[in-house]
Structures are given as structure tokens and as C-alpha cells.
Amino acid sequence: MTQRRYLQLDVFADRPGAGNPLAVVLDTDGLDAATMQAIARWSDRPETTFVFAPVTAGADYRIRMFAPDREVPFAGHPSIGTAYAVLQAGMAGLTDGRIVQEGMTGLLPLQVDDHDGQRSIAVRTPTARVAQVGRADDTTLAAALRGLPVGGLPPALMDGGRRWWVAELASEAGLRSATPDWAAIAELAARSDSMGVLAFARATGGDHDLAVRAFVGAGTQFEDAASGAANAVLAAWLRENDALPARDGRYVASQGREVGFDARLHLRVDEDGEIWSGGRVCPIVSGTIDW
């Protein structure tokens, strides 16, 4: 057996238990895809990431991401948590406040900001596009949104590596009390080759601008605690409609409260229209695994 540095982190969290869990393996010599999948299944976190030396000029490290049942091309919270782990381990350094990740979607920069001893990391997400705007006669979409009090913007299918239907609800209270129709959401996900429905509402106060719930209908149905990639495609849809919560392109989303978490995601649309999704990282477990 080989001892490998292993961490578990909460991403988009300022305290243990608030964010989206992630496992990171820093020592990857001798690991093939089947073994990485086995470790991810054993870790049983939403994703487990594995850090390798980069093979492309300009990258600081290379990443592979695995859910318990499959490899994942890109996700926001694994990217942010892995950058945190790489920096803490001294495996790479910052250049002008940035570190560059290499993965299946190419090279992605991450911006690192340190204020008052607190570190926040944001990843520039893959460019998202509008794949389809929901039609009134789409019975599959209507079934998935049944019982959800819709808001001003029409629902839309957004493609940012992973595809999500984004749907505005009329109120934060309506969103937080909503009960999803899992069978209908699963059918919508299958028919549109999407993850499911990302429902959101304008916040009525507190420390966030939007409340968000992500209903995953693809594969095992569950509500995601906090998704950086899903929130990024939502930001792209809001920008498309000139409907961002703040004129400077920065806002905070609250996600996960309904499933026992309390994440805060910081979104930013920069002057070039690029979407940055980020937040804080809380380390939980640091040690080694024998594998």
C-alpha cells in the first residue's frame, strides 16, 4: 500500500458543515482511472479530485474529478477546493494573485483574494450559452415546474459544460418551501440531456442577493448543497437578460439551507463578460490514506 496525502474540505463555507464537501488526493503516482474511481466511490463525497503535474504550458497543476460513479469534466466547488489544497500544500504558487488549473475543459484561471486572514477563491467558469428558451407548450418542462410559482424571466436551458434548466420563482419564500416533483424533473433531465432544474429567487434581505436550489434529476435524484458551475450558468442567463442583482456584476447566492447546509457563493461577471464563481473554503480533515 502507498500513503497518499488526503484532505476533506467544505467549499463555499465559513464553518464546518455549511458548504459542499470535497475530498482531495494530492499524491497520485501510479493511480489509473479505475483506481481513482474506486477511491471516489470509497470517499463518497459529491466529488473527489486528484492532483497531477501539468502537461500544458501555463498550467500550475492538472486535475481529474470523479463523482462516486463517474468522471466529471468540470465542476465549480471541486476546482475551488483543489486550488485551496494545492496552495496550502505548497505544490504551486500564485502569479499576480492567480493560479491556473488544467483539466478536461482546458486551462482555467482561479483568482485568490486574502483579506483579514480569510482566503476566497474564484474560478473563471467555462463560457455558457443559451441552448433553449422554454416554450409555453413544452409539457415536459411545465410538469417539472408544476407547483413552483414562476417569476419574471422565462425558464431557459443553459449549457456551460453541464446543462441546467434555470427557472426564476416569484419569491424567496416560495422557493424555500417548494417541493420538487422528482419524477418530472428526472424526465426533463433525460429528454434535454441536462442535470435538472436550478430554481432561484430574488432575496428579501440578509447577506445574499439570490436564493438558489438545484434539483438534480440526472441519475440519482438529489438536491445539490452548493454548485459553483450551476450558479455560473445562472449568472450567464441573468447577464443575457440584463437582470443581474447588482450593477457592478457582483452578487452573493445562498444555497443548501433546505438540505442541511448553508453555503454562500460569490459570483462576478467581469468587464469581458466572463463569469467567476467562488467563495471560502473550510478544511475539515487532513491526513493520509493507504491505497
The catalytic site residues sit at 47
Of 120, 83, 60, residue with least CA distance to 250 = 120
Q: What is residue 259's DSSP assignment?
A: G
Cell of 100: 491556473
Vertex 141: Cα angle to 140 and 145 (nearest 5): 120
Residue 257 CB burial class (10 angstroms; 0-12, 13-18, ≥19): middle
End-to-end CA distance of the chain: 5
Distance CA 173, CA 157 (A): 24
CA atoms within 13 A on the CB side of 60: 21
